């Protein structure tokens, strides 16, 4: 391989590496309440519902993170059973809220 070609390839590799390191990643999921923002509009997803559960729990003073709600199903159930009456959690806690396990009439 000639020195000119080797230098050109090294320069291209340096430019590509610099571009990859300086541009921000756009792959992060964006949520608006219980809905994920996509190019087609808002879509209800379990991921965003769990983000909403963690957000509402923190507003009540709980020190729960979204990762805890994502990774531990019992955390989600506990939060929904304790503060599931909040109107912001009606969609997120549909199966676990106080309305689901209250005594029948």
Instruction: Answer for the pair 50, 65: CB distance below 8 angstroms, yes or no.
Output: no
Residue 5 has pLDDT above 60, yes or no: no
pLDDT of res. 91: 87
Q: pLDDT tens across 17-72, in order?
A: 455 555 555 678 999 999 999 999 999 999 999 999 999 999 999 999 999 999 99
What pLDDT digit, counting tens, does each position of 73-101 carry? 999 999 999 998 899 998 888 887 666 66
Please state whether the predicted TM-score (pTM) of the whole model is above 0.75.
no
53: exposed, middle or buried (C-beta count within 10 Å: 0-12, 13-18, 19+)?
buried
């Amino acid at each position: 391989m000639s020195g000119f070609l080797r230098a050109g390839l090294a320069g291209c590799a340096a430019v590509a590496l610099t571009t990859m390191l300086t541009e921000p990643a756009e792959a992060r999921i964006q949520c608006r309440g219980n809905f994920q923002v996509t190019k087609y509009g808002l879509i209800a997803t379990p991921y965003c519902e769990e983000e909403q559960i963690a957000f509402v729990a923190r507003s009540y003073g709980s020190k729960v993170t979204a990762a805890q709600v994502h990774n531990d199903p019992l955390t989600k159930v506990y939060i929904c059973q304790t503060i599931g009456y909040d109107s912001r959690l009606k969609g997120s806690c549909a199966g676990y809220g106080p309305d689901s396990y209250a005594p029948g009439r």
